[in-house]
């Protein structure tokens, strides 16, 4: 082996080792949920793209049920009036307008591509409009549940317990770590603290569980994707997660295969804790309390909107220095706001390309010496 070919071999080996170290640092996601390709219950909404008022399309009744569930169409006073038609009628147009305004979309009243795409995304099961009040209003600000419920002022140390992990293969220690980190996001900026307890010994303030389908709270889950989780306003204290999801409980969800339907557990839990503490949904897309999250996306850092909202309810942690703690992995931190494949952020895409280009360029410079 001559000098140049030796250098080329060394460079190629080093590049492969470096590439391998990036994979190890970022980690491989661990999936804990159902297997196989899921059927997104809302994917069929994409067939209505371009549908206009006055038209009849088979399946529009399902879209109306979606809008009714999230508060954009009223629930019937009598069960006999619960049937929904496939007609694009005036109530549907008004519901779409309200949805578009809440999410700061172009308010057309039509099922344009951006509106339908957002409707098809997995999301929190808590309604955006409660008792006829649209808390989001597209105002770019945090919101509360009607009546602004909070935990009692004298109760600043809240306890929680994981009471059901049926259908989830993650270890107890892994789940404990996820929930501990999620709660710490909120305690870092407020006067509240959180401690895990054994529900068999102490009655917790907050109960957490994974459930499937109809699980007795009137808010049945719909299988993989669709509704991911829901939580109840204080002082109810219930947080329920859909056991059918392909939850990623450890590792970097953003490195999952583009064909996977991975959902980051911590991201969803941080959002639902916001509801447990009294926050409603936000129309700020960067906020934790934004209702939707795309698959393979990680979003665990509180935005200014989240921080201002929770501090207005419980006050500011005296130790809070104005910034939240970043994830332990540099890769995760850089991909925090990645929208997971469908719309990768420029920063994330640029970083990935830069690393790949650096390795190729370094190798090539030696190969052609």
Q: Is 240 annotated as a binding residue?
A: yes
Q: Is 69 known as a binding-site position?
A: no
Q: What are phi and psi of 87, to 5 degrees?
A: -90, 140
User: What angle do the packed helices 265-276 and 172-187 form, to 10 degrees?
Assistant: 50
Contacts of 121 (CB under 8 A, 6+ apart): 42, 292, 293, 294
Report residue 2 as tokens. 């001559």
In 3D space, the residue among 231, 232, 267 whose CA is nearest the CA of residue 247 turns out to be 267
Just list the catalytic residues. 272
Residue 245 annotated as part of some ligand binding site = yes
Residue 264: burial class (beta carbons within 10 Å; 0-12, 13-18, 19+) = buried
Rounded Cα distance, 300 and 58, in Å: 38
215 is in an annotated binding site: yes
Sign of CA dihedral 237, 148, 179, 126: positive
The enclosing H or E element of 351 equals helix 346-367
Question: If you write DSSP's letter for every residue of 126-147 in order, what string do you get?
Answer: S-SEETTEES-TTSSS--B-TT
Burial of 259 (0-12, 13-18, 19+ CB in 10 A): exposed
Q: Is 304 annotated as a binding residue?
A: no
- Tell me whether residue 124 is annotated as binding: yes
Phi, psi (5° rounding) for residue 237? 85, 15
Query: What is the DSSP-derived secondary structure letter of residue 77?
Result: S
Specify the DSSP class assigned to residue 44: G
Q: Which two tokens stand for residue 82?
A: 């619960």
DSSP-assigned letters across all residues of 261-311: -EEEHHHHHHHHHHHHTTB---S-TTSTT-SB--TT----SPPHHHHHHHH
Is 32 annotated in a binding site? The answer is: no
Query: Binding site annotation covers 306?
Result: no
Ramachandran angles phi, psi of 100, nearest 5°: -65, -40
| Binding positions for Zn(2+) | 124, 215, 217, 230, 240, 271, 275, 281, 289
**Which residues sit in the known binding site?**
124, 205, 215, 217, 222-223, 230, 240, 242, 245, 271, 275, 281, 289
Q: Which residues are annotated as a binding site for Ca(2+)?
A: 205, 222-223, 242, 245
């Amino acid at each position: 082996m001559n000098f140049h070919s030796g250098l080329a071999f060394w460079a190629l080996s080093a590049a492969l080792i470096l590439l391998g170290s990036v994979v190890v640092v970022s980690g491989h996601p661990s999936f804990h949920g159902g297997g196989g390709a899921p059927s997104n219950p809302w994917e069929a909404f994409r067939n209505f793209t371009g549908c206009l008022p006055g038209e009849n399309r088979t399946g529009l009744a399902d879209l109306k049920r979606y809008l009714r569930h999230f508060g954009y169409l009223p629930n019937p006073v009598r069960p006999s009036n619960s049937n929904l038609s496939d007609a694009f009628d005036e109530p549907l147009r008004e519901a779409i307008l309200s949805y578009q305004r809440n999410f700061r979309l172009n308010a057309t009243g039509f099922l344009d591509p951006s509106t339908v795409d957002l409707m098809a995304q997995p999301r929190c099961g808590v309604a955006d409009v409660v008792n006829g009040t649209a808390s989001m209003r597209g105002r770019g600000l945090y919101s509360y549940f009607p009546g602004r419920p909070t935990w009692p002022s004298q109760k600043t140390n809240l306890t929680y317990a994981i009471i059901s992990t049926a259908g989830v293969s993650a270890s107890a220690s892994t789940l404990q770590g996820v929930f501990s980190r999620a709660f710490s996001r909120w305690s870092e900026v407020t006067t509240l603290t959180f401690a895990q307890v054994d529900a068999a010994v102490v009655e917790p303030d907050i109960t957490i569980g994974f459930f499937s389908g109809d699980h007795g709270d009137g808010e049945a889950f719909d299988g993989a994707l669709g509704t991911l989780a829901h939580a109840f306003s204080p002082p109810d204290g219930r947080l329920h997660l859909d056991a059918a999801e392909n939850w990623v409980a450890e590792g970097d969800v953003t490195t999952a295969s583009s064909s996977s339907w991975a959902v980051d557990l911590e991201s969803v839990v941080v959002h639902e804790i916001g509801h447990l503490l009294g926050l409603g949904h936000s129309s700020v897309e960067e906020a934790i309390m934004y209702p939707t999250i795309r698959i393979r996306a990680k979003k665990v850092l509180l935005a200014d909107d989240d921080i201002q909202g929770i501090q207005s309810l419980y006050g500011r942690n005296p130790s809070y220095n104005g910034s939240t703690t970043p994830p332990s992995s540099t890769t995760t931190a850089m991909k925090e706001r990645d929208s997971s494949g469908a719309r990768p952020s420029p920063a994330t895409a640029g970083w990935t390309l830069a690393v790949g280009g650096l390795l190729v360029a370094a190798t090539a410079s030696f190969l052609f010496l």
